[in-house]
Amino acid sequence: MVDTNEWQGRSGETWAAQWRRTDRSFTQLTERLLQRTRDIDFSQVLDIGCGAGELSLAMARGRPAVSITGVDVSPQLIAVAQDRGSHLANVEFVNADAAQWQSPDDAAPNALISRHGVMFFADPTAAFTNLAQQSQPHANLLFSCFREVSQNPFFTQIIRQLPQAPPPPDPTGPGPFAFAEVDWVVSILRSAGWENVEFEKLDFPMIAGAGENPVDDAVEYFSLIGPAARLAAEMDTAARDRFFARVRAVCERNCYEGIVALPAAAWIVSARKAG
């Protein structure tokens, strides 16, 4: 599990350097979230765990009259987002933890949106309580998160190539699969002041490689930011070479028409501030 210190350090640096790959991997998920935002009427948006800013920037381009604030704990990712959004007047990026974020008096959000940015809260109930308190009455909440790990071959097919399987993820987090269980998420959100909680299943291809040499590109992806990258970095040279030879075989089996992609499974969760 990557904690706040890691996001502010080594992991933040790696993800900031690889933002094009991460945005590419979530292409279809991002588009579905944007489709869902078109059904919501809003003027002030908070993008929770905005990363390098892809979702915020897409909304800012599509809705120039809307004001968007993206927050993330990683200063490196925020720096990338600020650079990418420097030409847009209706978006800003702030290095902050959404669990403690305070909205300006005149700019409380009436929509809170996140692409896979809500699963790492140390205390999710407290975090979503704060977000409700900082929002306008009847604000809309919309976020994506992974379903259970067994439904995500993007993770399982790579993790199986490790010489020793890591312990299973904690189903209540924090971590990538912390929001996989519907009842758990509902209990968090209702306790935090959100109602009308609904779930949409989304299965999508998570892209790992493309370009002239998609398999090489995918292997490099998995060596840098993939689900086993940290464990692979701790191996000795011979073990790491054997591991990535097996990863290469997985990538070759999942290369279609010049793209390496493995199945991923997400929830898109929506709710409304109670009261």
Angle, in degrees to the nearest 10, between helices 54-62 and 75-84: 30
Cα separations (Å) of 40 from 44, 66, 110, 112, 181? 12, 12, 10, 11, 25
**d(Cα 75, Cα 72) in Å, to the nearest integer?**
7
Could you tell me the pTM of the whole model? 0.94
Predicted pLDDT of residue 7: 56
Mean pLDDT of the chain: 93
Q: How confident is the model at residue 116 (pLDDT cuts 50, 70, 90)?
A: very high
Predicted pLDDT of residue 101: 95
In 18-159, which residue ranges form alpha helices assigned H by DSSP?
19-25, 27-37, 54-62, 75-84, 124-133, 153-159
Q: Which residues contact 57 (CB under 8 A, 6 or more apart)?
A: 81, 84, 85, 88, 91
Domain boundaries of the chain, sorted by first residue: 4-150+173-208+264-273
Residue 160 has pLDDT above 90, yes or no: yes
7 or 178: which leads in pLDDT: 178
Q: How confident is the model at residue 234 (pLDDT cuts 50, 70, 90)?
A: very high
Residue 260 has pLDDT above 80, yes or no: yes
Q: For residue 92, what are its two tokens?
A: 């800003």
Domain with residues 4-150+173-208+264-273, CATH architecture: 3-Layer(aba) Sandwich (3.40)
